[in-house]
Amino acid sequence: MSWEAAGAIGEIVGAAAVVVSLVYLASQIRTQNREARAASVHQVMHEYAEAISRLHDPEMAEIWVRAHEDFDSLSPPQRLRFIIYLMVAVRSFEDAYFQWREGRLEDDVWRALLAPLRDVKSTEAFGRFWELRRHQVRPEFADYLDGLEDGEYSF
C-alpha 66/C-alpha 69 separation (Å) is 5
pLDDT digits (tens, 9 = 90+) for 59-96: 999 999 999 999 999 999 999 999 999 999 999 999 99
Q: Label residue 54 exposed, middle or buried (CB < 10 Å: 0-12, 13-18, 19+).
A: middle
Q: With CA atoms as reference, report the closest residue to 104 among 46, 47, 39, 50.
A: 39
Residue 23 φ then ψ, to 5°: -65, -45
pLDDT of amino acid 64: 95
34 compared with 84, residue with greater pLDDT: 84
Residue 16 pLDDT class (50, 70, 90 cuts)? confident
pLDDT tens figures, 40-54: 666 777 777 787 888
Helix (H/G/I), strand (E/B), else coil: 141: helix
Gap between the Cα atoms of 45 and 109, Å rounded: 9
Whose CA is closest to 37, among 94, 107, 89, 88? 107
Q: At what angle do helices 76-101 and 107-121 cross, to 10 degrees?
A: 160
- What is the structure's pLDDT at 42? 66
pLDDT at 30 over 80: no
* Residue 6 confidence (pLDDT) above 80: no
How many Å apart are CA 133 and CA 82, to the nearest integer?
12
pLDDT digits (tens, 9 = 90+) for 97-139: 999 999 988 999 999 999 999 999 999 999 999 999 999 999 9
- What type of residue is 117? L
